[in-house]
Structure 1
Amino acid sequence: MTDKPRLSMLTLGGTIAMTSGSDSGAVVPGLDADDLLKTLPELDIELVTADFRQLPSPDLGFTDLAALATRIEQEIAAGATGIVVTQGTDTIEESSYFLDRTVGGDVPIVMTGAMRHPQQAGPDGPANLLAAMRVAADPDARGLGCVVVMSDEIHAARYVRKSHSTSTGAFTSPNAAPIGRIVEQEFVLLSRPRQYPPLPRGPKLSETSIGMVHAALGDDGNWLKPFAEHTDGLVIAGFGGGHVPSRLVPLLAELAEAKPVVLASRTSSGPVLRRTYGYPGSEQDLLSRGLINAGFLDPFKARVLLHVLVSAGADRTEITRVFHDSSEIRVT
């Protein structure tokens, strides 16, 4: 019998696992879990590893994430007290939110990656992986849901954004703040987000298509209708507090009668308003026409949440309720 934390580490590829793949010096995923662990000091934990995928993160899809969620649940059922997942940072804000909303329980799920690949000077992957291990092994991480650990900061999946294309400080939580930090090699918890009950992963997860479009200056919306006709739902990232050009209003109202249309803000920080502006194309006008308020959720997380709900067969009332419940900032 041992009191050591028992962690499961699942690798998906990404920059943290890149190696030289051509004469040009460009890198491709190639390192496995054993390769990544060679960069770390010995840890006082029990560790099980699995090379789950070997992909650049733009190639990950909802089918991969559903399989990952199932594997995580299996690892937890087998006794894992913490889960560490490595993947590419380009889509980690979306995959972490998917896991946060569809995997229940108190076992921490900690995702990490790297901004500098192993062939660059000062790669950040080893430090990020070590920090992720420390968080996953810490009892204070129980009940946090899925978190992203980068640069010694711990971000809740519901808040985290990749806000720079190359900086090692790319990850931020614009609507909140890091919920914890690594200080002197220990996890320090600063705040605890409210837990949500897990949502079902529906049988049509791989078949569902959710579109996302951004409002733009001078947009006439002519391209939107044929695009939207081939989706099961739509996220419109409006200006500011949730606004679009007035010429888009009739089309968005028509679409909202046929399928769920969620109104988010393209600023990705701050909420969609409800009752401040009343002109055609304002948030009040759009919500009165059946669009669903994304609240504090950025467009990308709103799209993930809508995908999960639609694929599970949720009706408009349920979708509206979940978005209302999910889009607020609450910590304990």
Structure 2
Amino acid sequence: MPNLAGEQLVAGVPGLAEMDVTIDVRDFRRLPSGSLTFDDLRRLAEEIETCDADGVVVTQGTDTIEESAYMLDLLHSGHRPLVVTGAMRNPSLAGADGPANVLAAVQVAADPGARGLGCLVVLAEEIHAACRVRKTHSTSLATFESPGGGVLGHVVEGRPRFLNAPRERVTVRLEPDVPFARVGLVTAVLGDDGESVRATGRYADGLVVAGMGAGHVPVGCVEPLSELAGRMPVVLASRTGAGSVLSHTYGYPGSEVDLLERGLINAGFLHPYKARILLTALLTAGAPAAEIAKTVTVAGAVHG
């Protein structure tokens, strides 16, 4: 359970007081990151939009940064820098990385070069796009990577150095009190007979299937997925964590050609976790089927 207030976090950051910035600290939620909800993130995005600041830094636990930062990215329509950071080692451990990450995050949020890039994730002096970043190791300080496209830049001697940027951003506008849609995530595995798809379809408003390889599923999953795609959006992503779903290479039952012909939506380079966040936001916003398919396709093409 988080036990440090925002003022305590800021007070423990060497070098922050020497920066030519004014920092206004606000405590929003004090929860383990795994207990954050979509509504928490919507409320946070609303508060960010209304606060009077040139840049914003959000600190949270690292367990869900790859998901929460992407939701904030979708909801952040302005040009103001928005940076999410955290720590892999808590303050009681030797070599705690939190203070360095907070300092680097503030340095990025204060830099004009971060404007218009959406939500960024900064840890270990690396700058990641929220739409790309992944937590790839349970304990390593170098856990955060961007397999699809690489890091956006580095913090060098206290100064952000940007190397590249996503070509296009996708944003979604949510009404304040509309209940969030329920989107399931099913991972295709060896011997899957489709029952997990059927079970998820009983409660979900939409589905993301993390297919094998370039977007493939066992033959037992084909009919259940086809049936679901006839009544809700079903997005096809890859469970590999890097690379794009294909569109016209393999044509056997359960291949990407077969599934896309049955109405599934190609997630492209979007990781299944990101695809679920995007589909949740689009369904909650009331987007029609054609808009959902177009937006997922655009997001999957540009976020690699």
Q: Same fold (TM over 0.5)?
A: yes
Q: Using the TM superposition, give the Cα deviation of residue 221 of structure 1 relative to its aligned residue in structure 2, in angstroms.
A: 1.4
Which deviates more, 216-225 or 175-184? Answer: 216-225
- Say whether the 8 Å CA contact 1:294–1:302 is kept in structure 2: yes
Q: Which residue of 1 aligns with 2:129?
A: 156
- What is the aligned residue count? 301
Q: Which residue of 1 aligns with 2:114?
A: 141
Kindly indicate which of the two structures has a greater share of residues assigned to strand: 1
1:212 aligns with 2:185: yes
1:178 aligns with 2:151: yes
Distance in 2 separating the partners of 1:231 and 1:214 = 15
Q: Using the TM superposition, give the Cα deviation of residue 224 of structure 1 relative to its aligned residue in structure 2, in angstroms.
A: 2.6
Normalized against structure 1, the TM-score is what? Answer: 0.88
Q: Could you tell me the percent identity over the aligned residues?
A: 52
Sort the Cα spacing of 1:204 and 1:233 in 2 relative to 1 into closer, same or farther, 3 A: farther
Q: Which residue of 1 aligns with 2:223?
A: 250
Distance in 2 separating the partners of 1:107 and 1:207 = 26
- Segments of 4+ moved more than 6 angstroms: none
Q: Which residue of 1 aligns with 2:284?
A: 311
Gap runs ≥5 in structure 1: 1-27
Distance in 2 separating the partners of 1:304 and 1:329 = 16
Q: Which residue of 1 aligns with 2:47?
A: 71
- Say whether the 8 Å CA contact 2:131–2:303 is kept in structure 1: no
Which deviates more, 119-128 or 199-208? Answer: 199-208
Sort the Cα spacing of 1:330 and 1:96 in 2 relative to 1 into closer, same or farther, 3 A: closer
AA of the residue aligned to 2:82: I
Distance in 2 separating the partners of 1:221 and 1:68 = 37
Q: Using the TM superposition, give the Cα deviation of residue 198 of structure 1 relative to its aligned residue in structure 2, in angstroms.
A: 2.5
Q: Using the TM superposition, give the Cα deviation of residue 60 of structure 1 relative to its aligned residue in structure 2, in angstroms.
A: 0.3
AA of the residue aligned to 1:221: G
213, 217, 227: which one aligns with 2:200: 227
Q: Using the TM superposition, give the Cα deviation of residue 207 of structure 1 relative to its aligned residue in structure 2, in angstroms.
A: 3.7
18, 32, 40: which one aligns with 1:56: 32
263, 276, 280: which one aligns with 2:249: 276
- Say whether the 8 Å CA contact 2:251–2:257 is kept in structure 1: yes
Sort the Cα spacing of 1:288 and 1:217 in 2 relative to 1 into closer, same or farther, 3 A: same
Normalized against structure 2, the TM-score is what? Answer: 0.96
Distance in 2 separating the partners of 1:192 and 1:254 = 39
1:109 aligns with 2:82: yes
Q: Using the TM superposition, give the Cα deviation of residue 203 of structure 1 relative to its aligned residue in structure 2, in angstroms.
A: 5.6
Q: Which residue of 2 aligns with 1:323?
A: 296
SS at match of 2:274: helix
Distance in 2 separating the partners of 1:266 and 1:66 = 27
Which deviates more, 193-202 or 120-129? Answer: 193-202
- Say whether the 8 Å CA contact 2:170–2:295 is kept in structure 1: no
Q: Alignment RMSD, CA only?
A: 1.3
1:195-237 CA distances to partner (integer Å, 9 max, x unpaired)? 4252111467534110001000001112431321101000000
SS at match of 1:148: strand
- Say whether the 8 Å CA contact 1:144–1:195 is kept in structure 2: no
Which deviates more, 98-107 or 292-301? Answer: 98-107
1:118 aligns with 2:91: yes
- Say whether the 8 Å CA contact 1:62–1:205 is kept in structure 2: no
Distance in 1 separating the partners of 2:139 and 2:125 = 17
